[in-house]
Structure 1
Amino acid sequence: MQHHLGGTYSCCHKGFIIVLHNEIAENQHQADELQCGFKLLHGQYQIERALSSGGFGITYLARDSLDRRVVIKECFAAGICYRTQGLVEPIEPAYARQYKTVLRHFLREAQWLARSVHPGIVGIHQVFRENNTAYIAMEFVDGVDLVTLREDQPKRVTDTLMQDVLKQALGTLAFIHDLGILHRDISPDNFLLCDDGTVTLIDFGAATGRQTSGQTDRDAVIDPMISVKDGYSAHELYQPDMPHRPSSDLYSLGATLSYLVTGAPPPISQHRLDALTAGDPDPCLELTDGYPGFNRDFLASIDKALSVLPGVRYQSAQEWLDELQVDAPAPVPTRAIFSPDVEPLQVNAELENMLASLVENTNSGLVPAGPKTSKQRQTAAPQTQFDQPPRQRQLVDIFGDPIGDVDTSLKEQDTASSRKRPVPAPSAQPDNSAAQQTQPRPQGFAKYVPFPLRRLFGGANSPNND
């Protein structure tokens, strides 16, 4: 399957390189893409062909050392750098600082992708630096981008497919927005549609952290001509000093859906803003009344997302999702409690009398709960029989073994404890070894019980345990 994701495409066939130059490559009189067979990271990745070329880099189809298909994205800022002897360099010294900013932002893209683990976002394998630039190794997604879908398979663009694409895209945007990430490059060529219907968002090259009024992301300040896409970018994305919010991504998503419906991107947002400022009609026509093949509410939601003023648009992906799900589905009928073939039990007078008699007999022996009086406590107290000696309880050790003679048991435990204590240094005190030998040898588990535990249970002191 051919993947058309941009204006530059190359392939290798029988050892020859066929390159279709973009405008920048023609001006530079050289091809930008790496050749088929070029190896990266000491041979771990081998380039097969280029897939696309964008403002921030070139994307390649490659194989890794395990012969798996992967996608390699190379940081190659169109218009400010070129390739010489395999190395990527700024075109002029004046672009050196901007190239470093793009390179730093490219590495930030790897961080955004690493944080955005989601079924609707392309996965990342590795990031590395080589050839005076940087590379990101990502998973290969076998799908078709929405540009190719609209151009080559327009009959697939149905109302059902469009609504499914919208719901999946909104779920992905809600996820990254909750992480504090703005994509800022939502467009048809950055969505891949797989055969199973999964929609995958790719290319986080323009991503940045969420901004509020008065805040500026240092890595977000890139030449607007590189970071925006005419027809799909909201007007505030053309101005780095203006706050970028989730509504900016939602505008771009609305423009993407508008392209799928009409076959052309909406007018440039700056031109729309200028027209409204001058009091002229908005050059972007509403979709609601012009495309009967699509759900009217669905088209109205696209029109709302494409509002020029950020405050009029959806402020979050969840808000858009909630509006699409206003009409709740009909509840699923539950299974009947009674079978239709079984008639409910009829309670007659005879059965009612039987139940009442049963309840009365059951409750006759019950005593209402409540605080007992002193007389009730005296009646309930057991009578002590002084004429009979109290029954002695059988003593047991901590292991549950019965103890016949408490003194003998304690002496056995003392002897067992003394065997575990270190031998004291010789002293002038009398030798008690003979007395120790006369003590009986401990039996069972008692020899493992330390003396402090016996003291806790009231055992006598041993001469060998302090």
Structure 2
Amino acid sequence: MTTATTERIGHYEITALLGSGGNGRVHAARDTMLGREVAIKSLRPELMNDTSFLDRFRAEASSLARLNHPNIATLFALQPEGSNLYMIMELVRGRTLESVLQQRGGPLPVQECLAIVAQVADGLAYAHSMGVIHRDIKPSNLMITDDGRVKIMDFGIARVAGSQRLTRDGSIIGTLAYIAPEQLRGSPGDERSDLYSLAIVVYEMLSGAPPFAADTDYDLIQAHVNTKPQRLIPKVPGLSVKAEGAILQALAKKPEQRFPTVRAFSDALGATSLRAEATGVIQNYTRLIANPSDGGSKTIAPQPLPAPGPMGRLRAAVEAAWQRFKAMPIELRGLAIGGVAAVVVAGVVVVDSFRGPTPAPTPRTDTAHAPSERRGPTGNATTGNAASNAARIENMYFDRNTRPATTAATTTETKVATAPPAMTSAELRTAMGEAMERRDYSRAYELASRLAETGNAEALYTLGFLLEKGEGVGQSFVSAAYKYRQAAEKDLAKAQWRLGNLYYTGKGFGAPDYKEARAWYLKAAQQGVAEAQYNLGVIFENGQGIDPDRNAARYWYDLAAAQGNARARQALEALGGASR
């Protein structure tokens, strides 16, 4: 019987044992037919009779076989030999991120961290687009090569969308220090679960330790589910408020409060913009650490800036407040809008209506506009509840034990602030509709955000519409699609139609997806949405994602024209009349 310790497996010549664990081994080998180095992964022989281990091994190979990306270790073949099974893989030479962190003995510089995240996000986003969820993102599964590339390793517990589950419902899958709260509750997890795990890794790279630590597994589970992460800025020099906000949003306890995709997180973090130079950045930092100019150990850290004067502190405080607002999750910004901002600088409370500083020109993202006057939940301009709103947002995202101490003036301001009056769901619906009618989109977004917390489909649709159009909030097709999908899954026909439009144009998805567009158009068309019926006619007439079918096109044009859709009537006439 051939085992993983023999000197030859098929035409692969074993050259070294790279590592072994409780479940298997990895050997370096030479492909004697192609003359290249490979890695060979195998189960321990005694586990080959255990169907659960064997099924997982085959599932990992199946997951990897779907993927071909420079930031994911490539599978060349799954080779049976005797009674064993071997994965023939790309040989990745380098060190795991775990070993890098151990060697450094502390946090990584911000730029190096972003360069790593840029590559991991690229690989994960691709895997997710192929329907593969990793479910075990952690430093030991991220390999950093000698030329600065990052490779995602070990898809052993990955899940492929639509595939048979290898674990029973309610099973916990993943590594406890990096696992998402929903996985702890037994959910199989989705791409937002991988996002949470990546955010844990990012937090650890920047601070030197994961956000949650405990003496027992039970306490660690409770921390994931209930404990808010401590702030990073006080202990990470050079980290922007926006980047901190992105990390904390990605660590939200509920998946729907995180970014909808890993790509959106990378964008918000500022990592994506570093993608083209990421390998060079990692190489440079590695070279500096390995070969410091003075021959001794060297710590890389940003140089401190001179202390600002009083006006500099004022400008910095206003800028920080604005950046904090922009970095908040878009669903929660409305809670921070309720009146005039209170800024405390050197013990003086400056109360005034202000517009945030003009940002440098950047592509439009989930960035809220800053109107000169914010309106409270009653629709009237307010001045008393700004501090209380700020306190509510602060409490949502940060551990109160790490919040910076406030001055007496701030405390006084907070005490006199009053909470906004509660509104029933019916009142919120009415007020939201009225705000949309009078085109007060900032107010509509605030009300829709509050109502959407109840799962109201109309509110979710309104959020999607405002995000798509960039009215009352920064334009974001990705977030718009997410909100439309939530409403569409509640069978709201107009949300199904608009989601179909985003898939058809590719806005928020990178490229058109006619199959998805057709599926959502069909749902809306079956509920009588004339525009969706017309869109289906176009798809069938042009053969977009499907074979051209003029009769099907006539059928849908005919239905839409019967409802008065002028474009459908013209298209129908061009095809020679109704379907026969």
TM-score relative to the length of structure 1: 0.51
The separation in 2 between residues aligned to 1:223 and 1:41, in whole angstroms, is 39
Match of 1:218 in 2: 165
SS of residue in 2 equivalent to 1:266: coil
Structure 1 residues 245 and 138 mapped into 2: Cα distance closer, same or farther (>3 Å)? same
TM-fit CA distance, 1:172: 1.2
SS of residue in 2 equivalent to 1:219: coil
Match of 2:242 in 1: 297
Q: 1:144-191: per-residue Cα shift (whole Å, max 9, x none)?
A: 210111111458921111111111111111111111110011111111
Match of 1:307 in 2: 252
* Structure in which a larger fraction of residues adopt helix: 2
The separation in 2 between residues aligned to 1:290 and 1:174, in whole angstroms, is 30
Matches within 5 A, 1:236-385: 236-240=182-186, 242-267=187-212, 271=219, 274=222, 282=227, 284-324=229-269
Structure 1 residues 290 and 222 mapped into 2: Cα distance closer, same or farther (>3 Å)? same
The separation in 2 between residues aligned to 1:314 and 1:272, in whole angstroms, is 24
Please identify, of 184-193 and 147-156, the stretch whose mean Cα deviation from structure 2 is larger: 147-156
Q: Does 1:60 align with 2:18?
A: no
1:138 pairs, out of 89, 92, 101, with 89
Match of 1:176 in 2: 127
TM-fit CA distance, 1:291: 1.5
Q: What amino acid does structure 2 have at the position aligned with 1:303?
A: L
Matches within 5 A, 1:382-393: none
Q: Does 1:207 align with 2:158?
A: yes
Match of 1:161 in 2: 112
Q: 1:66-121: per-residue Cα shift (whole Å, max 9, x none)?
A: 56322111134xxxxxxxxxx3247xxxxx6xx31221121121122121101111
The separation in 2 between residues aligned to 1:50 and 1:223, in whole angstroms, is 35
Match of 2:353 in 1: none
SS of residue in 1 equivalent to 2:54: helix
Structure 1 residues 156 and 238 mapped into 2: Cα distance closer, same or farther (>3 Å)? closer
1:50 pairs, out of 18, 23, 26, with 18
Match of 1:355 in 2: none
TM-fit CA distance, 1:62: 2.6
Contact 2:101 2:205 survives alignment (8 Å): yes
The separation in 2 between residues aligned to 1:160 and 1:184, in whole angstroms, is 26
Contact 2:4 2:42 survives alignment (8 Å): no
TM-fit CA distance, 1:231: 0.7
SS of residue in 1 equivalent to 2:95: strand
SS of residue in 2 equivalent to 1:205: coil
Q: 1:301-335: per-residue Cα shift (whole Å, max 9, x none)?
A: 2222222222222221122133235977779xxxx
Match of 1:197 in 2: 148
Q: Does 1:110 align with 2:33?
A: no
Q: What amino acid does structure 1 have at the position aligned with 2:227?
A: D
Q: What amino acid does structure 2 have at the position aligned with 1:299?
A: E
Contact 1:51 1:61 survives alignment (8 Å): no
Q: What amino acid does structure 1 have at the position aligned with 2:242?
A: D
* Structure in which a larger fraction of residues adopt strand: 1
Match of 1:185 in 2: 136
Structure ranking higher on relative contact order (CA contacts 8 Å, 6+ apart):
1
Contact 2:10 2:81 survives alignment (8 Å): no
TM-fit CA distance, 1:223: 9.7
Contact 1:89 1:132 survives alignment (8 Å): no
The separation in 2 between residues aligned to 1:61 and 1:41, in whole angstroms, is 12
Q: Does 1:228 align with 2:195?
A: no
Q: What amino acid does structure 2 have at the position aligned with 1:57?
A: G
RMSD: 3.3
The separation in 1 between residues aligned to 2:245 and 2:224, in whole angstroms, is 20
Match of 2:287 in 1: none
TM-fit CA distance, 1:284: 3.6
SS of residue in 2 equivalent to 1:119: coil
Contact 1:210 1:244 survives alignment (8 Å): no
Please identify, of 40-49 and 319-328, the stretch whose mean Cα deviation from structure 2 is larger: 319-328
Q: Percent identity?
A: 28
**Structure with greater Cα Rg:** 1
Structure 1 residues 114 and 178 mapped into 2: Cα distance closer, same or farther (>3 Å)? same
Q: What amino acid does structure 2 have at the position aligned with 1:251?
A: Y
Q: 1:406-463: per-residue Cα shift (whole Å, max 9, x none)?
A: xxxxxxxxxxxxxxxxxxxxxxxxxxxxxxxxxxxxxxxxxxxxxxxxxxxxxxxxxx
TM-fit CA distance, 1:194: 2.1
Unaligned runs of 5+ in 2: 271-325, 327-358, 364-580
TM-fit CA distance, 1:126: 1.6
The separation in 1 between residues aligned to 2:120 and 2:29, in whole angstroms, is 27
2:37 pairs, out of 69, 91, 98, with 69
The separation in 1 between residues aligned to 2:111 and 2:8, in whole angstroms, is 43
SS of residue in 2 equivalent to 1:231: helix
TM-fit CA distance, 1:239: 4.2
Structure 1 residues 111 and 179 mapped into 2: Cα distance closer, same or farther (>3 Å)? same
Contact 2:212 2:223 survives alignment (8 Å): no
Q: What amino acid does structure 2 have at the position aligned with 1:165?
A: I
Contact 1:236 1:248 survives alignment (8 Å): yes
